[in-house]
Chain A
Amino acid sequence: MSTFPLASFGGAIEFIFTPQESNVTGGNKVGGFDKSLELVLKHLEVTALALAIAVIVALPLGLYLGHKGRGELFAVGFGNAGRAIPELAVIALVAVLIGVGLKTVAPALAILGIAPILVNTYVGVRQVDPAAVEAARGMGMSELAIIRKVELPLAVPTVMGGIRSAAIVILATATIAPLAGVESLGDFILNRNVYGENGLLAGAILVALLAMTIEGSLALLQRRLTSDGLKVKTA
């Protein structure tokens, strides 16, 4: 294995902040803070959109199935199957069959996120203490109110765990969204010829940082949403 041209981390950091000479003649400068910020925002945009779609589709379904106690095989099986879906295939199929651009890629990414949210919501609701549900029913709450006021709050840790998993996989796949015409931080990584090795490393660093930030934010959100009675020290 011959040496790969060493790009220093210092060079990557520089790339993020100041525009550099492009590798390709034409002398246009690439990189820099504006471009980096633009791509970070674009990456966030498609991630947020896809995550929203996934939540809107999977959360109610998981709540309903969990509440009814039906469709365990479906929910759990779907979750396992969802983990096995290769992201590259999803992006590639969407690009060639449906079209390129945000309006087709966001739903495709959402598909990847639906599985973890569905499974975790289902399991979370199933694991709610039946006594609590019975008590609420005894108090005369409607089924919908039970879901909203009893099951969902008690299931928050597990549900949020599913949303966090979904966010991670969607954000990760958004990195290859440029293949389907959606700009994201993946542009820095996949288009080495334009952005150079420094851009490549810069893209990877930014994606990693972005992922950790989102994960951390969602963890904080989970803590906020979890009612105090549930706040156990989880391993």
Chain B
Amino acid sequence: MRTDQTRMRVLLAALAALALTLALAACGSSGDSTTSGSTESGSGAGTIQSNPDNGKVSLTIGSKNFPEQEILGEIYAQALAAAGYKVKSALNLGSETVALKAVKTGQISGYPEYASTALTSFFGLEPEEVPAEATEAWEKANEEFEKEGLQAFEPTPFASANAVGTTKETAEKYDLKTVSDLEGVSEELSLYGSPECPQRIDCKAGLEELYGLKFKSFTPVDIGLRYTVLEKGEADLSILFTTDPQLSAESDKFVILEDDKEVFPAGNIIFVTEKKVAEEAGPDYEETILKVQEGLDLKVMQELDARVELEKETPKAAAKAYLESAGYIG
């Protein structure tokens, strides 16, 4: 049975814990999902100017469920907020089909999509039909989007693609440099990828149909674990992204196989939105988005990815750093 003294001590400890929790809660600003618009007009020609007309428009910016997407979503969201819109973010929605549905049902105003994913996943193109040139790919995607009342804005400078990755040891053991080198070897190897991978032509379906490869096993894992499974030795092969920071920061551990049959087309980011949303939001909507993505070349995107995936910065902080460094926000 506790003595009164112990009881007091326990009560004090409990109050301390409670106080700590409340203090932590008080630390955070309320309403994390709302980005407040800044009305300062900074110096520099590139700075986004806040337009009071935009204040009547509410936008929700979405993104898919991996860090690069969340960074992009944050960049667009913060930029539009700086332009005076009322912006909410709904990042981490899921994969491309979920995100597209969210646009079509009005749950979000728009989200950043890769032109190659749009063409192969939404519109059923074969990888070889995906134009290699960024503007062409965008135009083709836009054509298809318009049939559904949607619109895609022009592309970012950088592009990203899926890639088959493995550890340096495995690559050396089986002498793997290109994906085709997997022929005859892949039956002994396990493949790990996102849950939608088996159905996508720029993922396992393409490896099976276009490279003619069969794997010992396929295990679906969350995209966030794509390097963990390689490191832990559970996966022989894993589906990675060409913009991943781990590829340069840990280049002694991981390597990607060259896509010699061009089954994994690279895609630039095009912002997908509904036509009527764009019309209601006014010209600043498209202009701001196009303006703020001008600085997103491959090096910059990789830097941002590194900050979030390696240094564990929040996408919000990384996006803010980019916007400030490039002078888009004051």
Residues of A within 8 A of B (CB): 2-5, 22-26, 28, 95-96, 99-101, 178-181, 183, 187, 190-194
Inter-chain contact B234/A181, CB cutoff 8 Å: yes
Q: Could you give 10 example pairs across A and B, Cβ below 8 Å?
A: A2-B105, A2-B106, A25-B121, A26-B201, A26-B205, A100-B229, A181-B220, A183-B220, A193-B97, A193-B195
> Which residues of chain B in 48-96 are interfacial with respect to chain A, using CB atoms and an 8 Å cutoff?
94-96
**Number of residues of chain B lying within 8 A (CB) of chain A:** 31
- Chain A positions within 8 Å of B228 at CB level: 95-96, 100
Interface SS majority for chain A: loop
List chain A residues, Cβ under 8 A from B234: 99-101, 181
1/0 contact string of B109-130 vs chain A (CB within 8 Å): 0000000000011111000000
Q: Which of B106, B121, B220, B225 makes the CB contact (< 8 A) with A24?
A: B121
Nearest 4 pairs of A and B residues by beta carbon:
A193-B95, A191-B195, A26-B199, A24-B199
Q: Which residues of A contact B124 (CB under 8 A)?
A: 25
Q: How far does the Cβ of B98 sit from chain A's closest Cβ, in whole Å?
A: 5
A169 CA to B109 CA, complexed, in Å: 38
User: With A and B bound together, what is the CA distance between A95 and B205 in angstroms?
Assistant: 26
Shortest CB distance A66–B (Å)? 19
Tell me if A191 and B196 are in contact (CB < 8 A).
yes
A163–B106 Cα distance when bound, in Å, is: 46
Cβ 8 A contact of A5, one of B95, B101, B121, B205? B101
Contacting residues, chain A, for B98 (C-beta < 8 A): 192-193
B190 to chain A, nearest CB (A): 11
| Residue ranges of B at the interface with A (Cβ–Cβ < 8 Å) | 94-98, 101, 105-107, 120-124, 192, 195-196, 198-201, 205, 219-222, 225, 228-229, 232, 234
Per the bound structure, the CA–CA distance linking A194 and B220 in Å amounts to: 11
- Besides A3-B105, A28-B205, A183-B220, 11 other A-B contacts (C-beta < 8 A): A25-B122, A96-B228, A99-B234, A180-B221, A181-B192, A181-B234, A190-B195, A192-B98, A193-B95, A193-B97, A193-B196
Residues A96 and B95 in contact, CB atoms below 8 Å apart: no
- Contacts A24-B121, A24-B196; is A100 near B201 (CB within 8 Å)? no
Expressed in whole angstroms, the minimum distance between the Cβ of B196 and any Cβ of chain A is 5
Complex Cα distance A181/B221, Å? 5
User: Which residues of chain B come closer than 8 Å to A179, judged between CB atoms?
Assistant: 221-222
Of the candidates A2, A4, A192, the one whose C-beta lies within 8 Å of that of B94 is A192
Given that A100-B229, A100-B234, A181-B221 are known contacts, is A194 also in contact with B199, CB under 8 Å in the complex? yes
Q: Could you say which residues of chain B place their CB within 8 Å of the CB of A95? A: 225, 228
Complex alpha-carbon distance, A23 and B232, angstroms? 32
In contact, B97 and A24 (Cβ under 8 angstroms): yes
What residue of chain A has the Cβ atom nearest to residue B106's Cβ? Answer: A2
Cα–Cα, bound, A4→B108 (Å): 11
- Return the chain B residue nearest A28 by Cβ: B199
Minimum C-beta distance from A195 to chain B (A): 9
Q: Which residue of A lies closest to B107 (CB)?
A: A2
Question: A178 with B105: in contact, given A100-B232, A192-B98, A193-B94 (CB under 8 Å)?
Answer: no
Residue of B with least CB distance to A96 = B228
In the complex formed, the residue of A with least CB distance to B95 is: A193
Residue of B120, B124, B222 ringed by the most chain A CB atoms within 10 A: B222
B117 to chain A, nearest CB (A): 11
Q: Name the distance in Å between A34's Cβ and chain B's nearest Cβ.
A: 16
Residues in chain B near residue A24, CB distance under 8 A:
97, 121, 196, 199-200
